């Protein structure tokens, strides 16, 4: 009769190290928030349902600088997705949370940026459902021009 081996935590940890495990995220890790709830949550200073802990919540726009300049949410910072990495992590630590947005529904750049923030160790990350399209549909204003300094440039 064959016996099945149940891996021990030590064996699992060793296998993970040997396989060079790293933090991975999936679409299930994305926390979606609609424009109205994002505004309510961003205005609260106490711990909220999104997990923000009283520090400033920042709108993060991972689109290109050209797209950002064409329109963005007031007060948002622009860190184009390719620049979002370990070099920008230190500057982002001062924020209590992030609401990441893109242009449209399930925007792959916004989803990827949210996942990257999670992989970098940030816990309080939400993604704006519908992006700027839903934002405008809900009657919220957008800003044109005036590119805000990106965190990667020391802003």
Whether 6 maps to a domain, the answer reads no
Among 13-17, 22-26, 29-33, 58-62, the range with the most confident prediction by mean pLDDT is 58-62
Residue 52 lies in a domain: yes
Indicate yes or no: pTM above 0.75: no
SS (H, E, C) the chain: CCCCCCCCHHHHHHHHHHCCCCCCCCHHHCCEECHHHHHHHHHCCCCCCCCCCCCCEEEEECCCHHHHHHCECCCCEECCHHHCCHHHHHHHCCCCEEEECCCCCCCHHHHHHHHHHHHCCCCCEEEECCHHHHHHHCCCCCECCCCCCCHHHCC
- Domains identified in the chain, total number: 1
User: What pLDDT digit, counting tens, does each position of 43-79 carry?
Assistant: 764 444 444 455 688 899 999 999 999 999 998 999 9
Does a structural domain hold residue 55? yes
Domain hosting residue 149, numbered range = 25-153
């Amino acid at each position: 009769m064959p016996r099945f081996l149940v891996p021990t935590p030590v064996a699992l940890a060793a296998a993970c190290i040997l396989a060079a495990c790293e933090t991975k995220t999936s679409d299930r890790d994305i926390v979606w928030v609609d424009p109205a709830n994002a505004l309510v949550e961003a205005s609260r200073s106490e711990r909220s349902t999104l997990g923000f802990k009283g520090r400033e919540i920042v709108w993060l726009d991972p689109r290109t600088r050209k797209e950002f300049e064409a329109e963005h949410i007031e007060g948002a910072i622009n860190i184009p997705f390719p620049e979002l990495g370990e070099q920008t992590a230190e500057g982002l630590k001062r924020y209590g949370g992030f609401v990441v947005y893109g242009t449209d529904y399930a925007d792959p750049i916004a989803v990827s940026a949210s996942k990257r923030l999670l992989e970098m160790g940030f816990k309080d990350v939400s993604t704006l459902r519908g992006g700027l399209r839903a934002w405008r549909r809900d009657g919220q204003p957008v800003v044109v021009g005036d590119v805000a300094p990106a965190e990667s440039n020391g802003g």
